[in-house]
Structure 1
């Protein structure tokens, strides 16, 4: 009888333990299953809010553009996180963003050219004959390098850096947009390069991690003020097209790295 009692007690304890374990496993499974939809729901619910915010920014930038306040319009556009524009949900925002930016840049460049022409005329001993502003010298060097034309964003932006976006057109014309609404213009010439040991960021890490790369191309930009700057182009670990000037900045950082999207 004692043996029977022990067996029954042991069996009861085992059944109770198994039941409790089953409950715990069930609760854990339900918890993990419910957390995934919750995370997805949180992400999906944040998208409409951001879309509404970006649509408001686009509306403001468009109004400023129509009022002739092109610099202010560009500054408004800089409130949009340019990395979001690579996502399908923001396709319409992306189109309007670049259309407005292009329009602003065209008018700003015309305005700058007119100012330069006027200043040259005034410095010409009061002569009424105005010196024409120098036209950018375009070229067809990018005809075989379409991969390197298009829109880039400034990687790893800091509050003390004004760089925002870079656009290289197929005719070699270059526009750099800055967070303060200003723009820089120039002309680029591309050529093959195999130079190694060039400093850049590991753009796939989304961090300040640096690395050295071997270039595929070298792009020499001549800015409108005559300054020349060389960017080295290559393909990042994540398959994206990247430009770096290879110059150190503030100790352990890189001066300029641009990632195409």
Structure 2
């Protein structure tokens, strides 16, 4: 899974000063990048998606709002002309996740207070304070339409929310610890394909779901400095 992150662009503005003189000429300006009709159509499509997601957010249907946002390819938002859409996309996602995580925390507390055999401990923890880059919102890389998972959100206190393609969601709690484990299977995120590679994991994230099941992810930092999680498993369609 690749982490969804805000990308901060550093823009250097070059100012050209013309010196006054009897033979001065007006400075030439470079042409602005043009936007193709195909790109304009995609922007228009995404504007409609953002509008739907915004309306759902304002009506309190945060899960449906995030599901609508899944119709946008995050990589497209870094292209020319998508700047305002990118800003609103992440603002909406952050707002939705805040409310959904709040609900997940309440569900975790309710699960943790149940008595009797089979009680699952979903207490929050501060383990992510030592690894803050691994808390955040993740999307599943090389998305398979038949796969249930859509997004995974990990809060700084360990609360976990998994949103699914069928509109359902799972909640639980995660702990993280440092490791140095090689030969862990992951996708080669530089290729934007299903090509796999072996990586050295720096952290292990153990998720305990409300039904008592456990799931393990291995984390490392990608070439661009972003956090990546992998379950280390192979799937149909993967290539080496």
TM-score, normalised via structure 2 length: 0.70
Take 1:153 and 1:169, find their aligned partners in 2: how far apart are those partners? Answer: 15
Contact 2:128 2:135 (8 Å CA) reproduced: yes
Matched pairs, number = 204
Q: Which runs of 5+ in 1 are unaligned?
A: 1-33, 125-132, 255-261
CA-to-aligned-CA distance 1:149-187 (integer Å, 9 cap, x gap): 111111111110121111111111111111111111111
Structure 1 pair 239/72, CA: closer, same or farther in 2 (3 Å)?
A: closer
Take 1:226 and 1:253, find their aligned partners in 2: how far apart are those partners? Answer: 33
User: What are the equivalent positions in structure 2 for 1:102-181 lying under 5 Å apart?
Assistant: 102-104=98-100, 106-107=102-103, 136-181=122-167
Q: Does 1:198 align with 2:184?
A: yes
Q: Does 1:81 align with 2:73?
A: yes
How far off is 1:142 after superposition? 0.9
CA-to-aligned-CA distance 1:32-83 (integer Å, 9 cap, x gap): xx9x966x44466346414422232214423653xxx565455434333344
The partner residue of 2:89 within 89, 93, 98 is 93
How far off is 1:144 after superposition? 1.4
Match of 2:194 in 1: 208
The partner residue of 2:48 within 47, 53, 60 is 53
Take 1:104 and 1:221, find their aligned partners in 2: how far apart are those partners? Answer: 17
Structure 1 pair 59/92, CA: closer, same or farther in 2 (3 Å)?
A: closer
Structure 1 pair 105/74, CA: closer, same or farther in 2 (3 Å)?
A: farther
TM-score, normalised via structure 1 length: 0.65
Structure 1 pair 84/44, CA: closer, same or farther in 2 (3 Å)?
A: closer
Structure 1 pair 152/72, CA: closer, same or farther in 2 (3 Å)?
A: closer
SS of residue paired to 2:182: coil
SS of residue paired to 1:250: coil
Take 1:228 and 1:64, find their aligned partners in 2: how far apart are those partners? Answer: 34
Take 1:201 and 1:62, find their aligned partners in 2: how far apart are those partners? Answer: 33
Take 1:188 and 1:148, find their aligned partners in 2: how far apart are those partners? Answer: 11
User: What are the equivalent positions in structure 2 for 1:223-234 lying under 5 Å apart?
Assistant: 223-234=209-220
Structure 1 pair 157/220, CA: closer, same or farther in 2 (3 Å)?
A: same
CA-atom RMSD in angstroms: 3.4
Match of 2:236 in 1: 250
SS of residue paired to 2:190: helix
SS of residue paired to 1:246: coil
Contact 2:128 2:175 (8 Å CA) reproduced: yes
Take 2:87 and 2:97, find their aligned partners in 1: how far apart are those partners? Answer: 15
- Name the larger-Rg structure: 1
Contact 2:66 2:93 (8 Å CA) reproduced: no
